[in-house]
Chain A
Amino acid sequence: MKIQNIFLPGAALGAAALLLVPAEESIAFTTIGGSLPTTQRDVRVFDNFADGQSNNNLTPVDQFPGYFGVDMAVWKAGVEWGSLPHGDGGGDPTQTNLGDGGANFDTTWQGDAIGIGGTNDNIVSAQSSCGGTGTLAFTETPISNGWRIRFCDEWTWQDGPGTIPGGNNFDIQEVQTHEYGHALGLGHSSNNSATMRPATGAGNISGRSIHSDDIAGVQFIYGAASASKPVINSISGLGYITILGSNFGSSNEIWFTQAGDGGNGVPVKVTGVVSGAGGTFLGVSVPATAGPGDVLVKNTPSGTGGATLSNAFPFDPSGVAPELYCSGKVNSNFCVPFLSFNGFPSVSDSGAFRIQANDVMQDEFGILIYGLNGRSNLNFHNAKLCVKTPFTRVLPPKNSGSSGTMGSGFCLGELRRNFNATIQSGNDPLLTTGQQVNAQWFYRDPGVDSFNDGLSDGIEFFINP
């Protein structure tokens, strides 16, 4: 029997603690008894942290979409205990991989709570003070039905993402990785390199990445990741997504992160999803209540244990939002035309991605120009050309309804086109998934100047699956 696999009843442990001196590096993880069932894998944050430093990381990370500051730090801490790399495993500049647990254990990120919650609501929050007496944070738990984690706010909490200063500064992600280790059932380790060591110093971040001793601990409690555990390898699409992986059941639950704040920690679920291609394929429409976060797959016929729940895979239902830039040309009605859009660009989605210009000249012909080489800010016809050449012209027939519509009235003209029709027509083979497109409306404006034309602002977007 390995030393680190020893687990004794509490009374024996207590008695033993009286007798012995802890050794360094010679012993490893301990457990507190119990484990989190799959119904308690949610993690939320009530962001009542007082320091600005706890919420000044505003750099978006594609593996952790939609969240910043303390939220992102806590999310990263949870996925570090996960069975497999979270997406591509990136997102933390101080370690090569997030998702090192290798156990039948994964978390579901459920965003922000709207209160501190009770001791089993699975919420991380700050406590105004713990007395200024050397305690950084603590975990409260009767473990089998949840936990609560409190950060003592007399310290200065830093959200990273890189290194942090010393002094009175402590790293949210490191300490949360430690505290979540308690929540999942680990006690302290006397291995000084382990995340579950009892004490840490100001400025330390090494505990963000769990140590082999911590990995042995989570695998002791939950078992090493089963060969039959569902695995998500990729997710594509937005409104309707395709999940590729393995070990999906004949019937599955797809778990999403809730959109917005609040909730009760229970993931947004789509149930009864049938897999295809030998359990390697799932297709599902994303519920309107799902937001950026994670997707997990629960193989429902296989029971309730951790081996029936997949790894957490990052997912952003909003994708990369189209962005407006540049500026339109003042027209002969002294209006500045402007772009708007709705839907999302996709090679497969049946919905429209409409690019619309308003405040253009009424009853005049327009064309949409697009290019694949980025933005431009060239002076052109007393205005700005927003699309880098070469570009392609989309020629909607006059009065063609959804393809290009001319409005009427003073500054009430509008031009619109469903660009998904252009993508999916196949006329331009370069309009494929991941392609960046820049576009701008160009229209007739007799008398505005010697060029007799007008221009809208520009739009930049990426084509989704």
Chain B
Amino acid sequence: MKLSLSKALLPAAALLAAATLGGAQIERLTLDQMVSRCDHAVAGQVVGKTVFRVDHPVDGPELYFTKLTVSGNSAYTGQEMTVDVLYHGGFVNDTEGVWNSEAPTDAETELGNDVLVFYKHSDNMGGDVAGNVLFAAHGGLYQTTPGFGGPVVLGRGDGYAVRNNVKLSKLETQMADIRTRNEQEKQQQKQQQSK
């Protein structure tokens, strides 16, 4: 059977299209900016996922938040850790909740998925909800998958902090370099101020 080029490309095209689903408008970020602005990054497995609702007098009714629990290791120090990260949107049951254009997809956050998450603490992510916020919403969550020589972080493309596929170990080295440089710059600034 002769397979036309367009038919041959169809599955791949579908998969490519799928890779971009989810998300709303977020700030365009480089890895440098992401590491400089978030608190921490953890690579691990999704071990918990709950959704809760808040009705707030200022920020409005029907605010839904998803709490994702990720258990693994710090991408900064390697220490074992478990962290709860929050993002907007989600369904508390089959009928109550809201699809949020910036949230990671359900498929990306299924229990058992291996992920890398970037987060930052906020006292108010809306509705006076405080916690570790998934930085840049879906742009702060990356799938990881086994690869030759260790896990690979799947990049999300242009505009995201992790643009291309990269080994987790290499990404951790890059992030460490950024943090070291940032720390050195802070020290230099302190020294200049003290003079």
Contact = CB atoms under 8 A, between A and B. Distances in A.
Contact of A16 (B14, B134, B158): B14
B171 interface: no
B61 A116 contact: yes
B3 interface: no
Nearest to A48: B58
A351 B116 CA distance: 71
A332 to B, nearest CB: 61
B29 to A, nearest CB: 6
Interface residues of B, number: 70
Interface stretch (A5-13, A89-97, A304-312): A5-13
Interface stretch (A25-33, A288-296, A417-425, A454-462): A25-33
Contacts of B48: none
Given A136-B25, A138-B137, A30 B15 contact: no
B108 interface: yes
B81 interface: no
B101 A139 contact: yes
A139 B98 CA distance: 9
Nearest to B27: A134
B25 A200 contact: yes
Contacts of B15: 16-17, 19-20
A381 B119 CA distance: 77
Given A8-B18, A141-B99, A13 B120 contact: no
B20 A190 contact: yes
B30 to A, nearest CB: 11
A30 B156 CA distance: 15
21 contacts: A3-B9, A16-B17, A17-B15, A21-B165, A30-B21, A127-B59, A130-B88, A134-B34, A136-B24, A138-B25, A141-B101, A142-B98, A188-B20, A189-B20, A198-B160, A199-B27, A199-B28, A199-B29, A199-B136, A200-B25, A200-B159
A3 B21 CA distance: 15
Contact of A13 (B21, B143, B158): B21
A18 B122 contact: no
A202 B135 CA distance: 17
B52 to A, nearest CB: 15
Chain A interface mostly: loop
B133 A131 contact: yes
A134 B99 contact: no
B100 A138 contact: yes
B145 A18 contact: yes
Interface stretch (A175-183, A365-373, A404-412): A175-183
A197 B24 CA distance: 9
B187 interface: no
A331 interface: no
Contacts of A179: 24-25, 101
Which of A12, A22, A202 is packed against the most chain B CB atoms within 10 Å? Answer: A22
Contacts of A148: 98
B100 A139 contact: yes
B155 interface: yes
B26 A134 contact: yes
Nearest to B161: A134
A199 B161 CA distance: 11
Contacts of A278: none
A132 B28 CA distance: 14
B27 A135 contact: yes
B107 interface: yes
Contacts of B138: 198
A15 B59 CA distance: 34
A137 interface: yes
A127 B157 contact: no
Interface in A1-58: 1, 3-4, 6, 8, 10-24, 26-28, 30, 32
Contact of B24 (A15, A128, A139): A139
B124 interface: yes
Contacts of A138: 24-25, 88-89, 100-103, 137
Which of A116, A140, A150, A202 is packed against the most chain B CB atoms within 10 Å? Answer: A140
Contacts of B29: 134, 199
Contact of B105 (A14, A27, A116, A127): A14
A117 B14 contact: no
Contacts of A200: 25, 27-28, 159
Contact of B137 (A20, A22, A134, A190): A134
B14 A8 contact: yes
Nearest to B159: A199
B23 to A, nearest CB: 4
A190 B16 CA distance: 9
B164 interface: yes
B79 interface: no
B145 to A, nearest CB: 7
A189 B103 CA distance: 15
Interface in A154-175: 175
A60 interface: no
Contacts of A32: 21, 99, 101
Contacts of B186: none
